[in-house]
Amino acid sequence: MNLRIASATLLMTWSVAVPAQSARPGVDSLPRELVEALLRPYYGFYPASGSAFVVGHVPASLAPYFFVPPGSRVLGGIETPSTTIVVLSTSMSTEELRAAYRREQLRLGWAPASAAGYRGWGFVPAPGASPDGGLVFCHIGQSLQIMPYQSPSQPLVVTATVQNYGSQCSSQVRMMTPSSVMELPVLMNPQDAAMNDRVCLGSNNTFAGGNGTGERLQTNLSPTQLLDHFSRQLADSGWSASPPVAGVRRVWTRPDTGSMSRELTLTITPLSSAGCQDLSLQVRRVPGR
């Protein structure tokens, strides 16, 4: 979810907590006119625009196609010609929530988004996962992004956003990249991984250089488990692992053209923030062995 949608969702959540047309002392609410004015640049809250708030239930256009976990509290949502958002809170854990939506949204006609539309090299989200650790589903060009947010001692808050165009589901064109980067394989992140999340900011990113790529992941997997996760994918695509060495760094080779091979080095560096790890993927041509 981008910053604009996140900001708008926050304002929407405040506004539906206690619906009111004007602020009153001691009441945790925002004037409707103020909220609409703040959202207008992003969602077009003009007269006859078809945009509307809903309170306490899922917007009507999304309700038949959206799973609400049992026992959840629907705070409300927003509905515009191009975007629909619903916010709910639940007692589920993040892992339980992801598993439930992967199961139930498929029953409602959605399919997990493909990583093919993201890029054709390097680290990419797993099918059905978004780069920020949420879930993404597709249906006839529409995208449904489900993003959980856990704050200390509070129920899990879930924001679901449907976009009718300009999403990963409506454009499956791979990014244009330099030829040296195109030699990198595609490595799918774990399902729970958030890539370059704000939680992991604060120290310098790994510099990958011209023949590689670097990303920062937040995941429940340990560095060794993460390395094993990517190793299985490389083995399945024809890369041969060199003998293991100490630390979380491994090297693979694969025949290339003529007498040359490609040598791939994957290095994982744990960071001080919980679950945050720097990933560096480098490729070079070496004489065949």
Per-residue confidence of the chain (289 residues) as pLDDT tens digits?
A: 444 444 444 444 444 444 444 444 555 677 777 877 777 776 666 666 677 888 899 999 899 999 999 999 999 988 888 889 999 999 999 889 999 999 999 999 999 987 655 677 888 888 888 888 889 999 888 899 999 988 777 889 999 999 876 556 765 444 444 445 557 888 999 988 888 877 787 655 554 555 788 889 989 899 889 999 999 999 998 899 887 666 678 889 888 887 888 899 999 988 877 789 999 998 888 887 6
Phi, psi of 122 (to 5 degrees): 70, -160
Instruction: State how far the Cα of 31 lies from the Cα of 19, in Å rounded to an integer.
Output: 8
Burial class of 125 by CB neighbour count within 10 A (0 to 12, 13 to 18, 19+): buried
- Crossing angle for the helix pair 32-43 and 3-17, nearest 10 degrees? 160
Q: Cα 245 to the chain's mean position, in Å?
A: 32
Helices assigned H by DSSP within 54-172: 94-107
User: Which residue ranges form the domains of the chain, and what is each CATH number?
Assistant: 3-163 (no CATH), 179-287 (3.30.310)
DSSP category for residue 138: E
Own/partner long-range contacts of 3-6 (Cβ < 8 Å, ≥24 apart)? 4/42, 5/42, 5/83, 5/85, 5/161
What the block records as the tokens of 128 is 């059905």
Residue at 100: amino acid letter: A
The model carries a pTM of: 0.71
